[in-house]
Amino acid sequence: MNEDQELHVVIGASGGTGRALVRELHARGRRVRAVNRSGRADVPPGVEIAAGDARDANQMRQVCRGAVVVYNSVNPPFPEWLEAFPAAVDGVLAGAESSEARMVFADDTWMYGRTTGLMTEDLPYRPVSTKGVLCAWLAERVLAAHESGRVRTVIGRATELYGPAVESLLGSNIFSPAARGGLALWPGELDQPLTPMFIDDFAHGLAELGEREEALGGVWHLPTPEPTTARHLLDLATNRGHQRMHVLRIREPAVRALGVVWPVAREGAEMLYQFRQPHAIDSGKYRAAFGPGQLTPYEQGIERTLAWYRTTPKRRIIALGR
């Protein structure tokens, strides 16, 4: 890769979002540095790999040296969120500041709390969970860095993500049994509107925000296909998985009881209210500014996700988001 090219640094390059961002930026012909704690990752040819802990500001200053855009796709395991996430956000901000780089923050919608319709960027923050409160605080911290002139930042948001290597409720709980056979547990309503986002579409939108000066200082809901429902997604996964998958809908008390043996339930039970209400975003602001974005049809996204699960060993999943 040409050393004279502008450098894009992806922090958290081992997670689903980070991996997809590295692929997206490489496909755009950008010079990419993939950063994770181990300094080891399966990346496309020409991508540089560096070791760095996002919680360590000095390490972030080193790995972000020379960057024009820094992408924060860090997603600590749920048990570490309260301690690790604020430190990681501060560390990445310090790295971006040292290089005078733009910083793109991969975010979710948990700060909005209970909703009755499509979520828009101007919704007030009314979190109803501890993790939602933390998400609201982190978002405000990222935007405050921009408003103070310290770091030019932008936030890209998605609802529930799915796709290869994504640690989410849809991932481990739906696609694994669809690909291998078994029982899928759905802790919510089957017919409420949902706008899950395929991970490559999320990466495309984040990369676009990183290259748009006019996006800086704002929050953007990244485009998804038209709303669907859990029932439709489960049907698609069952039909395309060609396995005997059984779906059991469970309610909150059962989810909490399952927390003894199911890490997602134990760590994410407080977030499952989202799947008992409309969980869909309005991305009209993004589309009006930057065009339709990249929209992978649910059928295609599910096929690609199932292919990944068929060839990947089972993993212990303990996260719901990025």
pLDDT tens figures, 81-130 = 999 999 999 999 999 999 999 999 999 999 999 999 999 999 999 999 99
**237 lies in some domain:** yes
184 and 119 share one domain: no
Which pLDDT does position 78 carry in this prediction? 81
137 and 188 share one domain: no
Residue 52 has pLDDT above 90, yes or no: yes
Which pLDDT does position 258 carry in this prediction? 57
Confidence at 136, pLDDT banded by 50, 70, 90? very high
Which pLDDT does position 262 carry in this prediction? 54
79 and 200 share one domain: yes
216 and 170 share one domain: no
Report the pLDDT averaged over residues 35-64: 97
Question: Regarding predicted confidence, which is higher, 72 or 321?
Answer: 72
Which pLDDT does position 6 carry in this prediction? 95
Measured distance CA(322)–CA(18) in Å, rounded: 9
68 and 80 share one domain: yes
Report the pLDDT averaged over residues 140-163: 97
Residue 151 has pLDDT above 90, yes or no: yes
Query: Where is average pLDDT lowest: 1-10, 122-131, 173-182?
Result: 1-10
Residue 243 has pLDDT above 90, yes or no: no
DSSP labels for 62-76? Answer: HHTTTEEEEEE----
Instruction: Provide the 8-state DSSP code for 205.
Output: H
Which pLDDT does position 257 carry in this prediction? 60
Q: Does pTM surpass 0.85?
A: yes
Average pLDDT along the chain: 91
Contact 191, 255 (CB under 8 A): no
40 and 126 share one domain: yes
Residue 264 has pLDDT above 60, yes or no: no
pLDDT, tens digit, 9 for 90 and up, residues 189-234: 999 999 999 999 999 999 999 999 999 999 999 999 999 999 999 9
Measured distance CA(187)–CA(249) in Å, rounded: 6
Measured distance CA(64)–CA(78) in Å, rounded: 26
123 and 87 share one domain: yes
**235 lies in some domain:** yes
78 and 107 share one domain: yes
CATH code assigned at 155: 3.40.50.720
CATH code assigned at 244: 3.90.25
152 and 240 share one domain: no
Report the pLDDT averaged over residues 270-282: 88
68 and 119 share one domain: yes
CB-based contacts of 154, cutoff 8 Å, min separation 6: 102, 103, 104, 105, 146, 209, 210, 212, 215, 216, 217, 218, 219, 220
**124 lies in some domain:** yes
Count of the separate structural domains present in the chain: 2
Instruction: Provide the 8-state DSSP code for 223.
Output: P
Instruction: Using alpha carbons, list the distances in angstroms from residue 149 to 135, 142, 153.
Output: 22, 11, 10
217 and 76 share one domain: yes
Confidence at 319, pLDDT banded by 50, 70, 90? very low
**286 lies in some domain:** no
Report the pLDDT averaged over residues 295-321: 80
Which pLDDT does position 250 carry in this prediction? 78
**210 lies in some domain:** yes
Residue 247 has pLDDT above 50, yes or no: yes
**44 lies in some domain:** yes
**1 lies in some domain:** no
Query: Where is average pLDDT lowest: 20-29, 239-248, 266-275?
Result: 266-275
122 and 155 share one domain: yes
How many residues can be counted in the chain?
322
- Domain with 55, as residue range(s), is 7-159+196-221
**320 lies in some domain:** no
Consecutive H or E run containing 299: helix 298-311
Report the pLDDT averaged over residues 249-256: 68
